[in-house]
Structure 1
């Protein structure tokens, strides 16, 4: 089996192991916020695909992402091209029931921007659900590579250029080091620092912490 096919079966397919984990997390979100179907949710750094695939869908979703908005947006959604660490006033003044973020905090670009991202998540609504992969899970989730997150930058960059299961395959040094430097997994102490008033949930796989979720229910 080739690497592209293997990644598809492990991560990208709707029937993949990762897809099953996403559905499990979606169900967990629904149990935590049982009235989510009536909520206006602001998704910081996400994509509409998350909500198309979700087992539950809010009444209204506002997605904030640096990417260009898609050409077609369903009537229940609104997409804003904006920086979640530096939100424009019309977004900070919006009325939201829940802030949601999935696997974004590790990509925002360093400690100072994580502080700003977390401040936005805490201020936009009384409730939030902010998930990020756990640094000490043995498999680095973006490259599906054992222990890659513990290597020096030089070795991670070389690894990213050659490892066939990466989320964005690249052969150039500049592209690889860009991906590596924009991916910084967090541990529990960091998450508690960014979300001091939140409950910290732990998603486990085979008994090992796989991701951390900062939750405030109101």
Structure 2
């Protein structure tokens, strides 16, 4: 049996630490709430929560509402009663009341919502619909973008170079891309942020850097209720 690659082992290491931090944050917020604890997972999937632990959700009476932009992006998993699925624009959740949830969770989503104005709208909704949140995203200044892991520094190249590279090589989970429109769509739909932008988007949150050596690999905006 082949051994996991170094990239896979590092990815698993960071996921494990990230999931531990998330559980600790949830438990700290859970202690402040009587009755069932409600989490809104913006842009998520049910199968992601297998990492966090279904038993963890059950033991702490936690219900997760997964909200995604289209029905195709929602994955029902085993249909466990701890989950609800909803279609909605996470930058404009007009049907969700202020503080309707106890906590918002978002994992590697804000980089996909569009330009900076859309990112600001996403951040406003995160802060509006719950008093606490956990928002994780890859850091622009880390030399490997997890969306294009085959080529370090890819995301720092000029846009006109990047779409040409995507047309010729498989740099991410798919490819080579079949058309310029396909390549540009993926590039324009994946815009990383850095620490300064995260602090601007979430000014009252604590920004936690997940580090590899001295470099911040990803950023987490964490907020607890007052």
Task: Tell me the TM-score normalised to structure 2 length.
Answer: 0.83
Does residue 141 of structure 1 match 2:157? no
Name the structure 2 match of 1:43. Answer: 41
Partner deviation per Cα, 1:179-203 (whole Å, 9 max, x = no partner): 0111111011111111111111110
Deviations 1:155-197 (A, max 9, x none): 1111223332402323322111110111111011111111111
> Is 1:23 aligned to 2:16, yes or no?
yes
Given that 2:102 and 2:131 are in contact with CA atoms closer than 8 Å, whether structure 1 keeps it comes out as yes
Paired residues of 2:47 and 2:75 also in contact (CA < 8 A): no
Distance 1:10-1:61 versus aligned 2 partners, 3 A rule: farther
TM-score computed with the length of structure 1 as normaliser = 0.86
> Match for 2:181 among 144, 151, 174?
174
Give distance in 2, aligned partners of 1:208 and 1:10: 17
Distance 1:62 1:36 in 2: 17
**Secondary structure at 2:27 match in 1:** coil
Q: Distance in 2 between matches of 1:39 and 1:154?
A: 47
1:139 partner SS: coil
Instruction: Report what 1:116 is aligned to.
Output: 121
Give the direction of change, closer, same or farther, for the CA distance of 1:217–1:93 in structure 2 (3 Å limit). Answer: closer
**Where does residue 190 of structure 1 map in the other structure?**
197
* Counterpart-to-counterpart distance in 1, 2:163 and 2:153: 14
- 2:221 counterpart SS class: strand
What CA deviation, in whole Å up to 9, does each residue of 1:61-117 have, x standing for no partner? 00110131345632110011111001132x235731110101111110101111110
Mapped partners of 1:87, 1:185: distance in 2? 22
Q: Which consecutive unaligned segments of at least 5 residues does structure 2 have?
A: 31-35
Query: Which residue among 138, 152, 156 is the counterpart of 2:162?
Result: 156
CA contact (8 A) 2:98 2:130 kept: no
Q: Count matched residues.
A: 209
CA RMSD of aligned residues (A): 2.4
Larger deviation, residues 25-34 vs 174-183: 25-34
Runs of 5+ in structure 1 lacking a partner?
none
